[in-house]
Structure 1
Amino acid sequence: MTESHWLLTGILAAAAFAIRLTGLIAGNAIRRSRLAPLLDDLPGLIVVALVAASLAGQPVLTWLAAAAALAAAWKTNNVVATMLVGAAVFAGLSMTGF
């Protein structure tokens, strides 16, 4: 390997280390901030944002199945039951030609 290859390898290694160190420092700062309690809710907020974005522009049939799945999630607090209800409502309404 030439000197330029070694130099590039060294620069990339330093950059990788700097990225990890920056993440560690930023993570510790965020954990100590007043916004730390929001981190517990972040995964749920991300899922809600993804579902809302995927529902945008969908037909009424999809919205009805999503509403049924939401009701099942609220009532059962079970992911499998929620998926089954949503899929069943979607399939049922699709078969009826809704």
Structure 2
Amino acid sequence: MTGAHWGVIGILALAAFGIRFIGLIAGSRISGSRFAWVLDEIPGLIVISLVAASLAGQSFQTWIAAAVAVAVAALTNHVIATMIAGAVVYAGLAAIWL
């Protein structure tokens, strides 16, 4: 490898370390402020954003199955029941619309 390759590797390593360090500093400052509640909500917000991004551009039957899964999750607060309900509804709609 050339010096340029090592330079890029070094810059990327410093950038990765910098991002983590800034996150550590920001997290400690936020945890001591009035916005500390945001840190508790981040995992749920990440999951919701991933689900929303995966639903974009999907078929109507996927949206219906997702709506049923949300309803089951709200009613039961049970992960397995939510997954089963969403999968069963999607499979049923896929069988009907074939």
Q: Which residue of structure 2 aligns with residue 33 of structure 1?
A: 33
Match of 2:65 in 1: 65
Partner of 1:47: 47
Q: How does the TM-score come out when normalised to structure 2?
A: 0.74
- Identify which range, 82-91 or 30-39, moves more after superposition: 30-39
Q: Give percent identity, aligned residues only.
A: 55
What is the match of residue 94 of structure 1? 94
Runs of 4 or more consecutive aligned structure 1 residues displaced over 6 Å after TM superposition: none
Q: Could you say what the CA RMSD is over the residues aligned between the two structures, in angstroms?
A: 2.3
Q: Which runs of 5+ in 1 are unaligned?
A: 1-7
User: Displacement, 1:25?
Assistant: 2.9
State the shift of 1:27 in Å. Answer: 2.3
User: Structure 2: which 5+ runs fail to align?
Assistant: 1-6
Deviations 1:9-38 (A, max 9, x none): xx88xx59x746544433211211221111
Give the structure with higher Rg (CA).
1
Q: How many residue pairs align between the two structures?
A: 87
TM-score with structure 1 setting the length: 0.74
Match runs of 1:1-20 below 5 Å: 15=14, 19=18
